[in-house]
């Protein structure tokens, strides 16, 4: 399995979505991930979105309002954006906002990773792992 897939499946619970619902939304996230990989030219293709955060919102929006830890949600979204942009960089594609903004996002997320309120998310994926950009 993919580190990113495992991450998105575990995110609702790590962000404080209530038990039962966290598992349902985690399963949905896994199915969205699988759909994207099986349909590389489909509607979830990164080319169909203005930036990584818009694409990531497809998987986060259904459960975000149920999360009790918004710091964790924000941190998770940043990690996913970093992973997505790193994946593009590894393929020679310039990140959404340019290299300088990407570097700033990485630095800010690395600093936020030290906040105890995001520890449940950081235990699933670190900034260093997100920078590897192994989406598939």
CB within 8 Å of 75: residues ≥ 6 apart: 109, 112, 113, 115, 118, 121, 122
- Do residues 48 and 99 touch, judged by C-beta distance below 8 A? no
Q: Which of 58, 74, 65 is nearest to 115 (CA)?
A: 74
- Specify the higher pLDDT residue, 41 or 12: 12
Q: What is the pLDDT of residue 135?
A: 62
pTM score of the predicted model? 0.92
Q: What are 83-136's pLDDT values in tens digits? A: 988 888 877 777 666 778 889 999 999 999 999 999 999 999 999 999 987 665
| Residue 9 confidence (pLDDT) | 97
């Amino acid at each position: 399995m993919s580190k990113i897939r495992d991450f998105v499946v575990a995110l609702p619970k790590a962000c404080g979505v209530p038990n039962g619902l966290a598992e349902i939304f985690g399963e949905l996230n896994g199915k969205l991930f699988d759909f994207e990989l099986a349909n590389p030219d489909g509607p979830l293709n990164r080319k169909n979105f203005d930036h990584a955060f818009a694409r990531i919102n497809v998987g986060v929006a259904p459960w975000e309002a149920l999360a009790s830890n918004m710091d964790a949600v924000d941190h998770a979204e940043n990690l996913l954006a970093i992973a997505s942009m790193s994946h593009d960089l590894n393929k020679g594609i310039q990140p959404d906002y340019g290299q300088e903004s990407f570097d700033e996002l990485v630095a800010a997320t690395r600093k936020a990773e030290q906040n105890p309120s995001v520890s449940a998310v950081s235990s699933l994926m670190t900034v260093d792992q997100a920078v590897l950009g192994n989406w598939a």
